[in-house]
Amino acid sequence: MLRVRRFTRFRIRPAVYRDSCPTTITAWTVGGEPVPFAAAVTQTYRPFAPGQPWGRPWDTTWFDVRGEVPEDWAASGAELVVDLGFTGDQPGFQAEAMVYRPDGEIIKAIEPYNSWVALPDPGPFRLLIEAAANPIVQVPYEYEPTAMGDRATAGDEPLYRLTDLSVAARDQEVWELLQDVTALDGLVDVLPEQGARRAEIVHALERMVDVMDPEDVAGTAARGREVLAPVLAGRAADSSLIVSAVGHAHIDCAWLWPTRETVRKVARTFANVLDLGERHPEFVFAASSAQQYAWLKDTQPRLFERVRRAVADGVIRPVGGMWVESDTNMPGGEALVRQFVLGKRFFAEEFGVDSEEVWLPDSFGYTAAMPQIARAAGARYFLTQKPSWNEINPMPHSSFHWEGIDGSRVFTHFPPAETYNSDLGAADLARTERTFRQKGKARHVLGLYGWGDGGGGPTREMLAAAERKRDLDGSPRVRMDDPGSFFRTAEAELPAPPVWVGEMYLELHRGTLISQARSKRGNRRSEALLREAELWAATAAVRRGARYPYDELRRIWETVLLLQFHDILPGTSIAWVHQEAEAEYERVANELTTMITTALDALRGDAAARADTAGTLVAANAGPYARRGVPAMGLGPATEAPAAVPRHQNDRIVLDDGTLHVEIDRRGTLVSVRDLHADRELLPSGVAGGVLQLFRDTPREWDAWDINDEDKRSGSDLVEPASIDIVDDAVVVRHERGQTVITTSVRLSEGRIDYAFDIDWHESQKLLKLAFPLDIRTDRATSEIQFGHLHRPVHQNTSWDAARFETVAHRWIHVGEPGYGVAIANDVVYGHDIRGGQAPDGRPMTTARLSLLRAPRYPDPNADQGRHTFSVSVRPGGIPDAVADGYALQLPPRTAPGTAVEPLLEVSDRAVVVESVKLAEDRSGDLVVRLYEAHGNRSRATVRTAFSWSEAVATDLLERAVDSAAVRAAAPGTEVALELRPFELLTLRFRDPVV
C-alpha cells in the first residue's frame, strides 16, 4: 500500500486542480473588534500579496480579491482557492474567513478543510473575504499556560502568512477518483489483515496505479476509476449496521475564543451548510442552540432568512430545544427548565418547529433530573456521546431508556463512533460497528459528521464518502437521514430497551465543578435574584396591578442561560470569556436588584405610606419556607436570629446555644460538636472537624477540566493559623500562606454552625477543600440536584464507586444513619467528596469535604486568582433540614421600611417546594407556579391562594395544559389539592388571578 498512498498523495491529489491563475489582492485591517460588511466595504484597501504576514491575535483582515475566470474554463469547475496560512492542527481552532459578494450577500466560508469558493461563469469577478486571525490556543496534550486567551496579553505580532489566493480549474474526474481511493484505502486499515475483501481492495488499488500515467493523471483518471468500480460495487452484508448520517457542526458558544467570535463561527458554518444543501438535495444538517440562531438573526439577517427557508425545506433541522448546550450538573432546576422554555419558544416562533430530542453531545456529565425535565418540556429522546470518554468504566448501552429520579424515562442514544465530528471515514465507521452495544438486537445507529467549533461543518468530501458507503462491502451502510426519523426507527426496533437509572456520571473533567469560582458564584447568585425578581414582580402585578417586566426578564434569562454553556460555567474557557462572564453577572445583579427594589416598593405602598412606616422594618422572604416569623414568599416584621456568644475556656473557645455545644482549639478546628438534644457527639474521637486542606493539583492533562484522585496523597491540613480572635459573636481564624490569606468566621445560631470564608487566593495548581469528619456509619450520602436529590455510595466496592471521587451537589449534602444525620449546606459550592473510613480508635466514620478553590493554569493562566467568599453551614438534622438550610443560604431576606404583605400562596406540606412564581410567558397575565416534591416521599399538599382565579390547570414547562394525576381537586378561586410522587415536578397555571 505504500506505493498506492504515495501515488495518491503526490500524483492524484495535486492534479485535482488542473490550471490556475493569480488574482489581484488588496487588504484592510480592522485593528480591533469585528465590523459589519457595510462598514468594511467603505474602507481604504492597500495592495497585498501571497507570502505577506497578516492577522494580529483576535484581529480581522478584509481582503478584496479581484480576478477573471478564463473563457476556455467554461466546462471546468472554476474555484477560488484560499490558504490563509492554515496549519495541520484542528480545523476549528485557527484562522477562518467568510466570503461575500460586492453587494454583501454571503457565499460561503473558508476553513482549513473547506478552502474553496465556486466562481461564476467566465469573466471578471470580485469577492471580499473577512478573515479572522484566531490564535491557536490549544495544542493537543500540552495544556501549557498561554497568553493568547486574553487580549491584553496576546501581543501584536501577526499569526499567519497568506499562502494562496488564486483561481483554479477543478478536474471533476480526478476529484471523484480521489474520493474512490480514499474510501477504499480507509477500508484497508480496518478490515482483517488476512481477509479476502481486504486483499481484493489492495489488488484493485495497485491495478489503479498500474493503469494510470503519473505524468497525465487527468488524462488517465477515468481509466483508474474503471479499475476501482467493481470493488466499489461490492454490496454490504445483510447484517451490516445502518448508520443514519446527519450533518453536524458542534460549535461551542465560547471556549478557546470569546462569544463574539462564536457569532461569526455560526454564520460561517450556516453559510457552508446552505451552499452544500444547494448542491446536494439529500443533505440534512442538524443544529442545536436557539442562542446561535438568535445571534444569526441579529447579526446576519439576510443569511438568517436563507436559514429559515432551509428549515422549511427540511435541509436544516433545529434540534435539542435548549437555549444553549448547557452544563447539566450545576445549573439550578429552574434554569434547566428555562433552557427549554426559551429554546423551544424561539424554535416555535421562528421556524414553527417543536423538536422532540435533547441534544447534548459534549456536556460533562448528565444530571439524574434531566429525564423528567425533558419529558415535561415535550421531549422524548436524548442524545450524547460524552460518556464514551469515561476513564475506567464504559457505559454498558448505546441505545436505552434513561430513567430519572422521579421515574421518568427518555429513549437515549450514544452515537457509537464516539465522536460528534466524524468524517464518515472507515475508521469512524469501524469504531461504530465495534462499540455499538446493542448489536444483534438492533442495527440502526446515528452518525454525526462535520468539522465542529468553526471547522466549517460537513464538506463535499464527507458527502462523497457517504455516497460510496451507501452499500459497500466491508462497511456499515450509510444513509442520509434526520434525527427525528432515526430516533423513531431506533426506538421501534428496541421495544424493550435496557434501562439506565440515575445520573450519567462522567469519569473525567471532575475539576469543572470547582474551576473559575467567581463565574460559579455569579451563576448561583443570578439564579437566586431571578427567583426574587419574578416572585416580587408577579406579586406586585397581581396585588397592585404593577407592570410585569417581561422583556427585561427574558433578556436577563438569555444572558444567564448563555453563561451556563458547558465551557463557561464549568470554568474551562480562556481568560477573555471569564472576564466577560464576571462583568455580565455584575450587570445582571445590578439590573435584577433594581427590578426587585421596584417591585417591593410597589408592594410596600406609595412613598407617603412608606414614610409613615419608616421606623418599621419588614423582611422580604423569597424562600419557600417561613423564616423567623416571616411567611414564605411574603413580607413580615424583621427579626434577628440570636447567636451564641463565644467565650474562652482553658485553651479552647466555646460556643453554646442550648442546642449545640461547640469547641474550637488553637488550630482553629472543631474538636467537639455535641448535639445537646440527642446527647451525641458529631465528631469522631480524636479527629478534628472544619479543617481546611490543601492538595497538589497537577492533572495528567486537561488542566481546568480535571482533578486526579492520586493528588489527594499530597495534601496537608492548614492547622497553624496566624491568628484566632473573638470578634462580636464570631470566632475569626486567619491563615496566611505566602500571598494567600484565608479568613474564616465561625458562628453558632439556631442550632447551626455557620462558616463565612473570605479568601484572597494566590496559589498555583493547588486545590482547597473543607473537611468535616463525622461520627456516622453509612454506606451512602445524599446530594441535592435539580428538583430533588440522589444517593451515592461512600465506599469503593466497585470500579464505578471508586471513579466517582468528586461529585456534584447543589445547596446541600446529607450524611446520616437511620434516625440521625448531619446536613451541610452552602451558598456557592458544587464539588463534593464524601467517603467512608475509620477514626484513629478504629470506629467507622464518614468524611464530607467541600471543594472550595482551584488554581489551574490552562487555558486561563490566572484562573481564580484574587478574592472569593463562601458560606457553609453544618447542623444535626434530616433531609428536610438540609433542604431548608440550602434555600436559607441562597435566599437571605431583604430588609427595608414598610408594612407586611401576605404571600400570594402557601403550601401546606414542607415536602412540596415552590421553585418559581411568575407570570405566563404568553403575557396573558395568568400566574404560573412551579413546585416539586423535595423529600423523596409521596406527598400530599394543599396550595391555598390569597387571590381568586377562574381556573387552575396543570401544564408542561411551556405552560400548555396537560392532564396530571398530581392535581387531585381544585376549589374554584381558593385552593388546589395535590398528590406528588417522589421528586415529581408540577407546573400550575392560575388563569385570571385577581386579589
Q: Which residues are marked as active site?
A: 362
- The greatest distance separating any two alpha carbons of the chain, rounded to the nearest whole angstrom, comes to 101
CB count in 10 Å sphere of residue 893? 18
CB count in 10 Å sphere of residue 221? 25
Q: 565: which DSSP letter? A: B
Would you state the cell numbers that stand for residue 636, as one nine-digit string?
413580615
User: In residues, how long is the chain?
Assistant: 995
Helix axes 517-544, 333-351, angle to 10 degrees: 70
Q: Detail the DSSP E strand segments found in 866-936.
A: 866-876, 894-897, 905-907, 912-919, 927-933
Q: 318: Cβ–Cβ under 8 A, 6 or more apart, which residues?
A: 287, 288, 290, 293, 311, 347, 351, 353, 355
How far apart CA 803 and CA 508 sit, in angstroms, is: 9
Closest listed residue to residue 886, CA positions, set 825, 808, 823: 825
How far apart CA 644 and CA 123 sit, in angstroms, is: 88
Would you state the cell numbers that stand for residue 363, as one nine-digit string?
456536556
Would you state the cell numbers that stand for residue 925, as one nine-digit string?
397575565
Q: Are the CB atoms for 753 and 747 separated by under 8 Å?
A: yes
Q: Are the CB atoms for 254 and 567 separated by under 8 Å?
A: yes
Would you state the cell numbers that stand for residue 201, as one nine-digit string?
481492495
How far apart CA 15 and CA 177 sit, in angstroms, is: 11
Helix axes 426-435, 172-190, angle to 10 degrees: 40
For 589, phi then psi, to 5°, come to -60, -45
How far apart CA 826 and CA 877 sit, in angstroms, is: 15
How far apart CA 640 and CA 636 sit, in angstroms, is: 13
Residue type, 412: T
Q: Are the CB atoms for 845 and 837 separated by under 8 Å?
A: yes
Q: How far is CA 103 from the centre of its chain?
A: 38
Would you state the cell numbers that stand for residue 888, as one nine-digit string?
436559607
Residue type, 777: R
